Amino acid sequence: MKRADLFVTGVERHLGPDAIIVSKTDPQGRIIYANQTFLEIAGYTAAEVLGKPHNLVRHPDMPRCVFKLLWDTINSGNEIFAYVVNRSKNGDHYWVFAHVTPTFDASGAIKGYHSSRRAPTPAAIAAIKPVYAELLAEEAKHANPKEAAAAGVDLLVRKFIGVGGSYEDLVFSL
């Protein structure tokens, strides 16, 4: 199923101010741990998510290029912070401020990833929504998903970040 074909309700779910979503994945992005907060807001049981790709909760309004940047960053051994809109099992959505880090084995090789997500501020979401909408519009001009992500990254750098800047510079400026 393509992202654009996913059913969405337009109903937003909200994390509580002290809630923290935690999940862990293997190196291929398959969920190996999900806390109760993740399961509740996403509307899944542990049996439904364990072993599944984390993009199970990916919302069609989330630009591919942000995930490209995220995966490029964590695969290189670095952490990243990102604003992400996710899709619940029933089609509702929820915004998070995510902190994703690689997990290393004793030899220093990446053995998986850990993500902690909190409720973002309303002002940050109001600021990032039009950026993501413009990135999605650029990505929609390209049929090939890799070309779409590359075009989105190019626009993100040219228009929203600037030469020498980073996605995290944008995130922390909101």
CATH number at residue 72: 3.30.450.20
Q: Domain of residue 98: give its range.
A: 18-173
Asked whether the beta carbons of 103 and 113 are under 8 A apart, the reply is yes
Question: What whole-number distance in Å separates Cα of residue 58 and Cα of residue 43?
Answer: 13
Q: Which residues contact 104 (CB under 8 A, 6 or more apart)?
A: 77, 110, 111
Question: What whole-number distance in Å separates Cα of residue 33 and Cα of residue 49?
Answer: 9
Question: What whole-number distance in Å separates Cα of residue 173 and Cα of residue 128?
Answer: 10
In a domain, 142, yes or no: yes
In a domain, 131, yes or no: yes
Count CB atoms within 10 A of the CB of residue 113: 23
Phi, psi for residue 97 in degrees, rounded to 5: -105, 110
In a domain, 11, yes or no: no
Tally the domains of the chain.
1
Over range 131-147, report the average pLDDT. Answer: 96
In a domain, 101, yes or no: yes
3-state secondary structure of 24: strand
In a domain, 1, yes or no: no
End-to-end CA distance of the chain: 33
Q: What proportion of the chain, given as a percentage, has pLDDT over 90?
A: 87
In a domain, 48, yes or no: yes
| Residue 166 pLDDT level (bands cut at 50, 70, 90) | confident
pLDDT at 163 over 80: no
pLDDT at 107 over 80: yes
pLDDT at position 11 is 97
In a domain, 156, yes or no: yes
State pLDDT tens for residues 65-92.
999 999 999 999 999 999 999 999 999 9
55 vs 11, 41, 71, 74, 107, CA distance in Å? 19, 15, 12, 16, 28
pLDDT at position 5 is 61
In a domain, 7, yes or no: no
pTM: 0.91
pLDDT at 130 over 90: yes
